[in-house]
Structure 1
Amino acid sequence: MNVQTNSMPSQDPTATPDTRIDARTRRGRLQMLMLLLVCASPVIFSYFTYYVVKPSGASTNYGTLVDPLRPMPPENVTNERGEAVPLASFRGKWLMVMTAPSACDEACAKRLFTMRQIRAGQGQDRERITPVWLISDTGAVDERLSSAYNEPYAGVRFLRMDAVALRQWLPAEPGAGAEDTVYLVDPLGNLMLRWPKEPDPKQISSDLKKLLKFSRIG
């Protein structure tokens, strides 16, 4: 009588426990890498279409790409309630960032106005954008600025960050300082774009519209 036996796959008899552990570790790292690529693909696609493909009829971008991208530093910022929170907690949206001391001069107030108006001009996409004023000292902010620009009235976040860390993170264009312009941080927390000194609001708005169109993240 023929007896059939079910054969079961067996492990390599020559493999040591350490070898099997190393193989599982490599598979785990590969799976994690694939997951990260899937999560980052919307932003990567938006960068590619915005800077490489160029939609038909579109002009070149107005802002300057920060190369290489600069991730958010592992710093805490102080929010409007005086609480220390990680800067990284603001990831997830497109951040329009400016910096200036608390004694906000006319140029500083103009940048606040510009960011507020550009965000409002994005229509339904405005909720994907958070304007941020990174205040570089501990001085008091004029209450008129808070009433006109701070959330919840206009959506601008007033956050305080160490001045040294700010200078290290925000690259200034030649002949200017970080206080002279507006920056863009992507939803993954990468500083990616810097607009020129005294930027044209219409050109900034155009850059944002293209990025928001090609990326559904944030």
Structure 2
Amino acid sequence: MKENKQRTNGRWKLLAVIAVCTAPVIASYFTYYVLKPQSRTNYGTLLDPSAYPIPATLGTAALDGKPVALDAYKGKWIMLSVDGADCGDACRKKLYEMRQLRLTQGKDMDRIERVWLIPDAQPVETMLMREYDGTRMLRVKPDAVRAWLPVDGGTVPADHLYMIDPLGNLMMRFPKDADPNKIKKDIVKLLKASRIG
């Protein structure tokens, strides 16, 4: 009788040890296969470049009407914004953030071009052009840009900032009302990963 009790206690202890040892393994499998945590470290949404090639139908042109293709900036990262020429508060905020994000890259800032695509024929305010000197302001066909740039549900291209890599591939979209500090971290990673030599 005493021997049976010891045997039962021994079995319970063995089961407790097995449970303690296997719990982390079971928890990790549960987390990986059931909870499926996000493993990404980027803030912006990575896009499949092959799904969004720069269309030849964009019809981009400088403000003076001379054709300028986005390919003209190949070899550099392009930080891209889309807004009408009237450029309300949200547009001005994006232009300001684009300028500041480029400046915060220090010695790497020359690897970034800022491009503002303007999908209308309205005049751009002279003071705005001076304030954001260095931003490439290009007219674009509105239908072509809407068909090209992917958006989050319930948004339009004007709600986002985009990044195009030095090979001309659209590769990242930042969310509406994006946090500039988080965008900066993504840009630092992109520039570091694409540095040659």
- Pick the TM interval, shorter chain: 0.7 to 0.9
Query: What residue number does 1:215 align with?
Result: 194
The offset of 1:67, in angstroms, is 2.7
Alignment check: 8 A CA contact 1:112 1:149 kept? yes
Paired position in structure 2 for 1:63: 44
What is the aligned partner in structure 1 of residue 103 from structure 2? 120
Indicate yes or no: 2:119 matched with 1:136: yes
Q: Is the 8 A contact 2:49 2:170 kept in 1?
A: no
Partners of 1:210 and 1:68 lie apart in 2 by: 18
TM-score (norm: length of structure 1) = 0.68
- Aligned with 1:174: secondary structure? coil
Q: Name which of structure 1's ranges 92-101 and 62-71 shifts more when overlaid on structure 2.
A: 62-71
Partner amino acid, structure 2, of 1:186: D
CA distance in 2, matches of 1:77, 1:68: 20
Bigger radius of gyration: 2
Is the Cα contact below 8 Å between 1:133 and 1:157 reproduced in 2? yes
Measured in 2, the distance between the counterparts of 1:142 and 1:118 equals 23
Amino acid paired to 1:81: D
Name the Cα RMSD after superposition.
1.6
Stretches of structure 2 that go unaligned for 5 or more consecutive residues are 1-38
State the one-letter code of the partner of 1:63: G
Q: Which has the higher helix share?
A: 2
**Percent of aligned pairs sharing the same letter:** 46
Give the number of equivalent residue pairs. Answer: 156
CA contact 1:150–1:158 (8 Å) conserved in 2:
no
Q: Secondary structure at the match of 2:60?
A: strand
Supply the distance in 1 between the matched residues of 2:49 and 2:129 (Cα, whole angstroms): 34
Contact 1:97-1:185 at 8 Å conserved across structures: yes
- Detail structure 1 runs of 4+ shifted over 6 Å in the superposition: none
